[in-house]
Structure 1
Amino acid sequence: GVRASLQVSQMRFWFGKEDFIFQQDLAPAHAAKSTKDWFTKKQLEVLAWPANSPDLNVIENLWAIVKRKICDRKPTTLDQLKQNIATAWEAVSAETCDKLVKSMPRRLQAVIQAKGAATKY
């Protein structure tokens, strides 16, 4: 959908022609046949992702950042919302994404220490 298209556009901007693997959780919308078909059509590789692993998914933090930016603008129409989503997503810096990716070792260690239970992430 719109969210995946924005993410792919931003990833293409950051990585150019370099290969990348798209990560998403197993939310019902992400597991839908139409979603899987969309990724196949776009020839995008999707990371195999285990169920019940939100502690390891940095995209949730990224979406929280985007949501805060959208809420700050208080859109009142669907068109404003769509524009605010695009603007907020484009405003996310490569440094922010890099910081989230570099947090993965800490996230993994926290999950190991919690023996798979929830963590602060």
Structure 2
Amino acid sequence: MGPWRLEGLLTWEWTKEKEKAFQELKEALVQPPALALPDPRKPFTLYVHERKGVASGVLCQRSGPAWQPVGYYSKVLDPVAKGWPACLRAVAATALLVQEAEKLTLGGDTEVLLKCF
């Protein structure tokens, strides 16, 4: 399969603004992710969301007045759980992500906030 090409569809002009945006994007892609190191002495908050059988979450801790992410999670529910009603899928998603987050929380205090719909 060859490269993608746009022929005859539009006129493309590479401006200074586009070059600047491209350079900023390249720079952002090589920077480390904005994750803080977890502090097991502080409580954690795990934000959980489930949609179409996929559990996603962000584990955060307070750093001064702001919240700082310490972990991102994404897991696919098993085939049985995928067939459950939304409220039960949310429970399954929470169980999966709490289990994953324990690698960082080490069993410390963790509040779970769940978006059901």
| TM-score, length basis structure 2 | 0.26
Q: More strand per residue: 1 or 2?
A: 2
| TM-score, length basis structure 1 | 0.25
Larger radius of gyration: 2
Q: More helix per residue: 1 or 2?
A: 1
